[in-house]
Structure 1
Amino acid sequence: MLPLLRAIWQADAAFPSGAFAFSYGIEGALALRPDMGLRDFEQLCAAVLRQRWASYDRVALRRSFRAEPDVIALTAIDREVEASTLIETLRAGSRRNGASFLAAHARLGQPLAIKLRERLKAGECSGHIAVMQGAVWAALQLEARHAELCSAYTVASGLVTAAVRLGAVGALQGQGVLQALLPLIEELVAHPVDDDAGLESFIPFLDVAAARHVHAELRLFAN
């Protein structure tokens, strides 16, 4: 049961990963669509999981999970994520989340996190969150499937939490959306991914929203 307990620990919103400062583009999306209803929000979250997490973050996570503890291979994956994340605010958010994630695990004494954090400080890698999660979770001996479930859940939970903090949905409404997304997460994780799959993402509405968000006069979130 220990790998499962570790996955629950890592998916816990109380774990200090720094994700509270990021809305995954939701703040910008709500600025573009202030009339967005609950059903539309749920569909947007599902699109993020299908068209970003499953084909991009999950692929980077899986590669990193397999590459651990090879820091050279992990750095190569990290650089690919850096080069292929076109929106600066999303790129910066991924780096900052990864840095916070590494800092927490390094302070807890995790050896690979300490090594990767040193490389990050030296400018040898960018520290994108999906890559850092894959590497550290493998080092923590999570099962691969649990790591993927944990990654997808934290993305879904982050979207919902951001919307609640922005006042777009109520706390119980947000939990209803999260509950509705759980079968989708199960379905996506159950679907096999080729070992040589490329990084693919197609959520143009959120990309545009995140790009516009950086110019907003008043922002609650960094992206």
Structure 2
Amino acid sequence: MLFDRLQALALLQLGDSAYPAGGFAFSWGLEGLAADGMLSNRNELDRIIADQLARRWATMERVLLRKAFHAAGCDAIAAVDRLAEAGTPSAEMREGSRRAGRALLGVWVKLDGPLSVAYRTLVSSDARLGHLPVAQAVVGRDANFNLDAAELVSGWTLVTGLVGAAVRLGIIGHVEAQRSQSAARGLLAELLAETPPADASPASFTPFIDIAVSRGPLRDVRMFTT
């Protein structure tokens, strides 16, 4: 198979932690876990990243992304979006997913992505729409990614977001961050090598993370939205 340089460069662009989609505002539970004394070093971080990838991203967000990627038209994409809303029990996680997804869509609206523009109109009329994995599928289609590429950038964005949050929280340094990313890279590759069944239903089981995110509004000081 020929190496697609343009797509590889596009993957680097969208997977960059500096991509202006507001990813720096989300720790996806790391801040809460650290505040509760459940996250204080790289070994614990690596376990949490592995948990997020295997028990949430691979079984829920990836499934939603795949459904939205194959959906024919905005109404069908919105049906997947509502599935994401119904399948996320934590109000804070729902809000965080929608905020992150809408921010990503907003970037591609400014870049004149045709599907992003069309879907953003629908999202603007329904507060339940705009979840991150659905937005990633829409953006991936506008970027002319194939499904494999869209899945790859989705999983890697989660990894870099978690590692970046850990650095900002002072849990690890920049060299340790590279070790965490290397470990996560191997797991992500393993997960991507297995294709979910076409009829897979999105499901996740990350109770400690969900509780940590849900406790966020009770904390006096917060750095991150989730």
Same fold (TM over 0.5): yes
- C-alpha spacing 1:35/1:187, structure 2 compared with 1 (3 Å): closer
Aligned-residue offset at 1:91: 0.8
User: Which ranges of structure 2 fall in alignment gaps of 5 or more residues?
Assistant: none
User: In the TM superposition, what is the alpha-carbon distance from 1:192 to its structure 2 partner?
Assistant: 1.4
Runs of 4+ in 1 over 6 A off after TM superposition: none
User: In 2 relative to 1, CA 182–199 (structure 1 residues): closer, same or farther, beyond 3 Å?
Assistant: same
Give the total of aligned pairs: 222
- Decide whether aligned partners of structure 1 residues 9 and 120 sit closer, same or farther in structure 2, where only a CA change above 3 A counts: same
Structure 1 segment 21-170 matched on structure 2, within 5 A: 21-33=25-37, 36-67=40-71, 69-123=72-126, 126-170=129-173
2:39 and 2:45 in contact (8 A); partners too: no
Distance 1:104 1:215 in 2: 31
Residues of 2 paired with 1:163 and 1:51: CA distance?
20
Deviates more, 1:140-149 or 1:76-85: 140-149
Q: Secondary structure at the match of 1:214?
A: helix
1:18 — aligned with what? 22
Q: 2 CA distance for matches of 1:19 and 1:41?
A: 18
Return the offset for 1:147.
1.1
SS of 2:218's equivalent in the other structure is coil
Over the residues paired in the alignment, what is the CA RMSD in angstroms? 1.3
Which amino acid in structure 2 is aligned with residue 47 of structure 1? D
Q: How does 1:143-222 map to 2 (within 5 A)?
A: 143-222=146-225
2:85/2:128 contact within 8 Å kept: no
TM-score (normalised: structure 2): 0.94
| 1:7 match | 11
Q: Which runs of 5+ in 1 are unaligned?
A: none
Identity of aligned residues (%): 36
> What is the CA deviation profile of residues 25-82 of structure 1, one whole-angstrom value per residue up to 9, with x for unaligned ones?
1101111125632211111111110000000000001111111x51011000000101
